[in-house]
Amino acid sequence: MWWSLSSSFPPVSVLFLLHFLLLILFAHIAETRNSSIPAFFVFGDSTVDSGNNNYIKTISKSNFPPYGKDFPNHIPTGRFTNGRLVTDFLASDVGIKDYIPPYLDPTLSLDDLKTGVCFASAGTGFDPLTAQISGSIPIQKQLKYFKEYKSKMELYIGTERTRSLISKAVFFISVGTNDFIVNYYGPPIRRKTYTISAYQDFILQLGQQFLQGLLKLGARKIAFVGLPPIGCVPAVITLNSDNALINRGCIERLSSVARDYNRLLQSKLTAMQTHGANIIYVDIYTSVEEMIKKPQQFGFEEVNCGCCGSGIIEASILCNPYSLVCSDDSKYVFWDSVHPTEAAYYKVFKDLRSIVDKFSKD
């Protein structure tokens, strides 16, 4: 055969040819792996914000140490944790990109945009008042940004290819926690108008409107995250415990609000299933609760305070270069008093991998 060692081609040429063929094979495998999910789009709050708040006027920022201490090159990107987020792990796992960049980053190329971006903003919620309290990007404006994104892609790759890209992409929505712990149980504005059940219905209505907006713009693979056990967030424990230094158990009455909301959300999403679209409820509550109730099973030791500072009240600017930091953040469920560590996010990612696998098979 012409490529055999006995041919007139020298061995170096044979090795080069084999190397070239292997590169083509691996490229084909990677392309095949990526072909079912070409892009990943993220909407929500600080649990998924990869740095959009760096580019707006708000105190809800994390683009300074010790945030990002375990991110590649120790860069504080604006992610509210010590490293990567669940969405980074998910996008990397399916071969799209290692990290999902913030949409507002002015250095992004069109090719960066093509494979997906993050529109999330720390401090936001479905309720517009929540975003006002934090000075963050309202979820409704995040939808407008996506519409703007779609127009950019249509100019770049054409209308039909943009439609195909969006219909095959995964949309990940993680928002709602701030509506309760920052807004409803914060300044007594909404509590004067709404009972907790009425407020839950109000948030679900706004969530439904947002979802309908995404569907109208062509989204077909949507993962919608429920609430975590909000009563177990260290800052919530601190503000609601009768003795925050000693009694640091979860605040059950607040976690029960999250469970009720999640049940209602699941029913709402089931009712919104439409032909040609796949809307999946993402149970984050169970994943976080497992880490808190059985920490040793997952390699954790601290579950009711964060790694940064005292761990009971610090977040954002209160967790800063002058703060003390724990010696091993991989043993902590929470990085600051609100947000999980990269280790905790990785555990959540492993629990959610099957959801993206379902989208891959669509």
Active site residues: 46, 336, 339
- Could you give the CA distance from residue 57 to residue 35 in angstroms, rounded to a whole number? 38
Contacts of 202 (CB under 8 A, 6+ apart): 127, 194
**Across the strands, what pairs with 42?**
118, 172
Residue 322 CA, distance from chain mean position: 27
Residues in the chain, total: 362
- Between strands 221-225 and 302-306, the pairing is unpaired
- Could you give the CA distance from residue 29 to residue 349 in angstroms, rounded to a whole number? 23
Contacts of 47 (CB under 8 A, 6+ apart): 80, 85, 86, 120, 174, 177, 225, 339, 340
To the nearest 10 degrees (0 to 180), the angle between helices 139-157 and 196-216 is 10
Give me the phi and psi of 288, to 5 degrees please. Answer: -70, -40
**Across the strands, what pairs with 224?**
173, 281
Helical (H) or strand (E) element with 281: strand 278-282
